[in-house]
Structure 1
């Protein structure tokens, strides 16, 4: 009887267990981050900005280092050590919050320490899906992770707001520690990364430098299709990520939406992302990834255009139009990420999985930081409407250029 190479419907249990554990940990961390940010905001805008900056700053240095160490030592070992350190640090923070309250020095120190450990572990976390699932299941596995990550982002702020008022920061810190404990137990239990996805024996020993940092960029530029995929991922992140975090609040202020309507519009973006990721997670045989990713950018451009129309329109139905545009924008974002993530991770050599994930973080982080500054300055000097209009045009041009410059090779490398 002839057999067909069809991916199994159910993802491997080790991956599903790991995903549950990491989701619990992310939720605890996101709620704690919201609580610390809320406390910092009460001390003034400068303190709040410093807390955010110190939390993100270690990524510029530690992402690539963490990726190099992960590929040499093993992603699971790094994650166990990292989450153990985070658990201890979070417990100490909970005790310190109960003892000292929320002085500026404590908020700044905790943000820097938590950000440093998290940044070091991010490449290992990003590489785990390919270590735990077959290549033909990678798109579904990453799409399911995108669903859970977006759900955490949507739930963290309202949950954190409720908990800050009812239980206080020290108990939120202990809750985050418990969540890390759950994730750590799961990591210890998932002992075998069986089959070809195992990271045992895959450490790269060819580089003369211990960390092989220069070798990371050599692999990125020499692997067929990987360089262009990373370039598109960075460009897409720079144009997409500032919309919900920066431009939607600015539009809300300019259009007089109020906090409620602005929250609905931002939530519609998240709902669109979850919808697209859920569809990708249900498909057993995904289609062409590059072409679909560029379609996602085009959908995001169209959605942002409708969002802009709703923002500038006065009268009945304007808010609904903005929400629909936000939903379409989020769906396009979800389509883009659901295709680009497996394309990048699937193209990476197995000896460099974590290091490639570190480069992914860098090519997204730096352009987003620059675009936030550019769009913020543009909105201040002209208006938020012009900033969104520039984003719409840029997304459309990026989609068109990417469609015309599709890499010749985009298949996963073993």
Structure 2
């Protein structure tokens, strides 16, 4: 790293008043909003260019490389430094989307061209996600990592809420070309902000970890996770929670709303309840910065969220399901944010890219694979039994946390 980006951090100050952290957070938010607008633009262009089956294929093509290359993305982040990889991936995404926007202005692309765009974008995402997760310990001090994780979770909720209407408006005014252009502009803004973020230099022993082949570095990272008394059970808690939660919270809600006649509006209210709860829990962590007995609280949050998740399946009305969704967001949002904060705190920064890639692989790669399983199970056994079984699986993650002494006693700085 050059001296310009490895300068000492500012004197101790709360993360929400630290310009360095706020630049990173603003860049992350702009990138997430751009990501959401890109997905809307790609979906619209694919639907207009081919059959429904072909449109689904285009979207699937983007998801496969992101999952397949995620672990490699963590190795790249630790080898070359997360800042370089994040800046490089944002630059590539910006260039690709602006090129796609220009192409759409002069011609109508075929399905295979859109599939190629999705393939490139998904591959670059596999580099971006582990790298952006590895940055916080390098831009602030350990005692601020809990607050930063809360701020990041809150930014994710804001981006999710903002991306859909902005993407729809961009498509309505300028078609897919306009939406791709807006997304590319947001990635350009993210790129400028990231280039202004300062990092603290890694100690010499952490720099040494960068030596060796890619296979050796990946194996070394996996051995590091397996041998860590807190990190190994923490990632297991996260994986089990996601596997139980992802299906009911996505395809399960669609089938639930359809079966009970609540329609898309009813499903929207439930999703809004969940988003509100998750936003409030993120705000709590961002304001407080530290939750006492974080290891135990995250496990209890996962378990309480699982109980509320089962409640959605038995809710007699949209209002009751929305209230249950609010509880799910509050509890699992707090548990998930604390899992992220503890991961940032206990992991050696030299391994953080690989650790983040493993966590993202479960949440963004493997968890969606349960969608068809949950859908088929609901078709066979009905809503209530499947929601109960999935909630029990998710709660098992919290039980693992409570039954692991090192994790149960883990604290934020």
TM > 0.5 between the two?
A: yes
Say whether 1:118 aligns with 2:125.
yes
2:5 — aligned with what?
none
SS at match of 1:167: helix
1:388 — aligned with what?
387
User: What is the distance in 2 between the residues matched to 1:24 and 1:199?
Assistant: 27
Shift of 1:99: 2.4
Contact 1:244 1:269 in 2 (8 A): no
| 1:199–1:90 distance in 2 versus 1, CA, 3 Å | farther
User: What is the distance in 1 between the residues matched to 2:166 and 2:95?
Assistant: 23
User: What is the distance in 2 between the residues matched to 1:400 and 1:88?
Assistant: 46
Task: State the Cα RMSD in Å.
Answer: 2.2
1:363 — aligned with what?
362
User: What is the distance in 2 between the residues matched to 1:224 and 1:373?
Assistant: 34
User: What is the distance in 2 between the residues matched to 1:319 and 1:406?
Assistant: 40
Mapping of residues 39-58 of structure 1, within 5 Å: 39-42=45-48, 43-58=50-65
Say whether 1:131 aligns with 2:138.
yes
Say whether 1:319 aligns with 2:318.
yes
Cα deviation digits, residues 16-58 of structure 1 (max 9, x gap): 1111122112112211211211333453332232222211111
User: What is the distance in 1 between the residues matched to 2:152 and 2:245?
Assistant: 19
For structure 1, the residue ranges without an aligned partner over 5 or more in a row are: 1-5
1:278 — aligned with what?
283
User: What is the distance in 2 between the residues matched to 1:177 and 1:208?
Assistant: 36
User: What is the distance in 1 between the residues matched to 2:269 and 2:97?
Assistant: 32
SS at match of 2:207: coil
SS at match of 1:38: helix
Mapping of residues 81-230 of structure 1, within 5 Å: 81-190=88-197, 192-194=198-200, 198-199=201-202, 202-205=206-209, 208-210=212-214, 212-230=217-235
User: What is the distance in 1 between the residues matched to 2:22 and 2:324?
Assistant: 33
| 1:10–1:111 distance in 2 versus 1, CA, 3 Å | closer
User: What is the distance in 2 between the residues matched to 1:407 and 1:373?
Assistant: 36
User: What is the distance in 2 between the residues matched to 1:368 and 1:206?
Assistant: 30
Contact 1:226 1:410 in 2 (8 A): no
| 1:367–1:89 distance in 2 versus 1, CA, 3 Å | closer
User: What is the distance in 2 between the residues matched to 1:9 and 1:66?
Assistant: 27
> Which of residues 1, 13, 21 in structure 1 aligns to 2:27?
21
1:301 — aligned with what?
306
Say whether 1:346 aligns with 2:345.
yes
Cα deviation digits, residues 92-120 of structure 1 (max 9, x gap): 11112222325211221111111111111
Contact 1:378 1:387 in 2 (8 A): yes
Shift of 1:175: 1.0
2:257 — aligned with what?
252
Shift of 1:271: 1.1
User: What is the distance in 1 between the residues matched to 2:208 and 2:214?
Assistant: 10
Shift of 1:210: 4.4
| 1:105–1:193 distance in 2 versus 1, CA, 3 Å | same
Structure 1 runs of 4+ aligned residues shifted over 6 Å read: none
Shift of 1:299: 2.2
For structure 2, the residue ranges without an aligned partner over 5 or more in a row are: 1-11
Say whether 1:71 aligns with 2:75.
no
User: What is the distance in 2 between the residues matched to 1:384 and 1:45?
Assistant: 27
Contact 1:226 1:348 in 2 (8 A): yes
Cα deviation digits, residues 44-74 of structure 1 (max 9, x gap): 3322322222111112332222211221211
2:328 — aligned with what?
329
Contact 2:241 2:396 in 1 (8 A): no
* More displaced 10-residue stretch of structure 1: 170-179 or 52-61: 52-61
User: What is the distance in 2 between the residues matched to 1:205 and 1:285?
Assistant: 30
Contact 2:98 2:181 in 1 (8 A): yes
SS at match of 1:153: helix
Shift of 1:200: 7.3
Contact 2:241 2:394 in 1 (8 A): yes
* More displaced 10-residue stretch of structure 1: 41-50 or 291-300: 41-50
Normalised TM-score (structure 2): 0.90
1:266 — aligned with what?
271
SS at match of 1:58: helix
Normalised TM-score (structure 1): 0.90
User: What is the distance in 2 between the residues matched to 1:367 and 1:176?
Assistant: 27
Report how many residues are paired.
Answer: 398
* More displaced 10-residue stretch of structure 1: 288-297 or 149-158: 149-158
